[in-house]
Amino acid sequence: MSSLLNTIITFIFFSFTFNYVIAAEYVGSERCADCHAQQYNHFRVSGHPYKLTKAEVAKHRALPLPTGYSWKDISYVIGGAYKKVRYIDKQGFIITAAKDGSELKTQYNLETGTWSFYHKGEKKAYTCGGCHTTGFMKQGHQDGLQGIKGTWAATGVQCEACHGRGSDHAKTGNKKLIKIDRSAASCGSCHSRGDIKTIPAKKGFIRHHEQYNELLASPHKSMNCVICHNPHKRAQFSIKTECSTCHIQQQKDYLGSRMQKVGVRCIDCHMPRATKSATAKNTVEADIRSHVFKINITEQEMFYDKEIKGKTKSFANSFITLDFSCLSCHKDKSRQWATKNAKNVHSLGKYLK
């Protein structure tokens, strides 16, 4: 009898818990700000909430439009925080050409003030909602726009994109009713591309938003992103743990070197801008820092091609080569010079002539 009673009680408890959890609703990041003001303020100036924005909101940010278009032609804006911006038309398709179908550069690059082609002339549906919105569902078309695949509860990567529906937590303050996942895989659910066992590349650079692919190929593969980063802050200002915290001997060797004295940091060599999101300054410097970390001082190439289903795809090896690590600063030198001088690298600045 007691066994049957326990079974009934257990069933009722789990049924109640299940119904309670699924009843939670999205409440919006502004509600989170009521108690988590500091985290919210950091988040608001990060790139996350700008991944996708309604046109009526984005138009107040003084973003330039592709030639011939007005805000009446735009339904949503993709990006527009720090790197680049693209536009979605009133049918839900990403704008890739002029209104008359002729060739037009439709991606605006904020760092350089230039325009680039994006899938030139293609009829490009918006399929990025899984990572660019909050509460994404694969079914349907947001706002009834046929070019948009899927629906969402809120535009952009809001607090609840990572922490889950927040209504129950907001009502009770119970930490058990909100998702807190500090694993690298959690970040990697969006910061990845294709097979995470590879590092996709294109035109001499690692492709953007695949930091998880890079991390898994690096010596830091067992670490979580939040060990080094505050996930609420803009990437540029999110570092909370310095390299020297773990790499004590390398730091000791490096102190007093010429490079250390002129301000060269660990990340300048170990995390060069070998990844491209919007623009590249030259052949060895794009606009996003790599997360591969390991430097190869041999003449081995960083990139390789592979035939996949009849198409040639480019990939990066699990290391940074000296052209990226050295020549973005030593512009008048060659890779051969870098190879010759890269021994005892952490004290190199003491002896470099």
188-233 residue pLDDT tens: 999 999 999 999 999 999 999 999 999 999 999 999 999 999 999 9
Question: Average pLDDT of the chain?
Answer: 92
At residue 51 the predicted structure's pLDDT band, cuts being 50, 70 and 90, is very high
Q: What percent of the chain lies above the pLDDT cut of 90?
A: 85
Q: Specify the pLDDT at position 344.
A: 74
Mean pLDDT over 65-71 rounds to 98
At residue 18 the predicted structure's pLDDT band, cuts being 50, 70 and 90, is very low
At residue 23 the predicted structure's pLDDT band, cuts being 50, 70 and 90, is confident
State yes or no: pLDDT of 71 exceeds 50: yes
Q: Specify the pLDDT at position 9.
A: 47
Mean pLDDT over 72-99 rounds to 98
110-140 residue pLDDT tens: 999 999 999 999 999 999 999 999 999 999 9
At residue 15 the predicted structure's pLDDT band, cuts being 50, 70 and 90, is very low
Q: Specify the pLDDT at position 237.
A: 94
Q: Specify the pLDDT at position 45.
A: 96
156-172 residue pLDDT tens: 999 999 999 999 999 99
- CA-CA distances (angstroms) from residue 316 to 27, 221, 294? 41, 16, 13
Q: Specify the pLDDT at position 349.
A: 52
At residue 348 the predicted structure's pLDDT band, cuts being 50, 70 and 90, is low
